[in-house]
Amino acid sequence: MDRDAVEAFLIEEARLIDEKRWRDWQKLFSSDALYWIPSNRLDADPLQHVSFVYDDMELLNERLIRLESEFCFAQAVPSSTLHQISNIAIAPGEQDGEIAVRSNQVIYEFKNNSQRRLEPLNIFPAFCEHILRRADTDVWQMRYKKVGLLNCDAEITNLTFLL
């Protein structure tokens, strides 16, 4: 997978989230994947420390069911997001057929709702790590996605949209 292909993968992944095509985004993960958003410290051990998100694919599926339901009040109205991707660096993965990708992403989140009081545009700068694995000849999947928020230690009340 060359640099252009990696960049295209990240852009496509972000586009699926930003266009709320969550089930297509879900298909980018391998079935044994981990989707992790650390809290308080980016290097905190997730086995000993609470995370914002620490989803295996079963829990991610439940998360999507929740978001699709009409009873996810934290997403009434739903957040809109915009991912801006930069600083992409590529390294060989630990296992054969895998590559490790680091990127910086800035995720903008906005709820357009005049019925809620002051809902500012939120900005979440993040250090992202992807481990991509070749699933088929030309198909790559995410075996691991970590979104390390710059402000992971801050007062954050609502991260119920997808990052």
Minimum distance between the CB of residue 76 and other proteins, rounded to whole angstroms? Answer: 7
Nearer to other proteins by Cβ, of 30 and 160: the residue is 160
Q: What is the smallest separation between the CB atom of 141 and other proteins, expressed in angstroms? A: 23
Complex with other proteins: residue 90 or 162, whichever CB lies closer: 162
Judge whether 96 and 74 are in contact, CB under 8 Å. no
Instruction: Give the ranges where the chain is alpha helix by DSSP (H).
Output: 3-18, 22-26, 57-68
Give the Cα separation of 42 and 149 in Å (integer): 8
Binding residues for other proteins (CB under 8 A): 37, 39-40, 44, 46-54, 59, 62-63, 65-66, 69, 71-74, 76, 116-118, 153-160
Q: Which residues partner with 122 through β-bridges? A: 109
Residue with smaller CB distance to other proteins, 121 or 156: 156
Tokens of 121: 């545009």
Would you say 63 or 83 has its CB closer to other proteins?
63
Helix (H) or strand (E) holding 36, with range, is strand 29-38
**Whole-number minimum distance, CB 18 to other proteins, in Å?**
18
Task: Choose among 7, 145, 20, 152: nearest CA to 82.
Answer: 20
Element (H, E) at 100: strand 98-110
CB of 94 to other proteins, least distance (A): 23
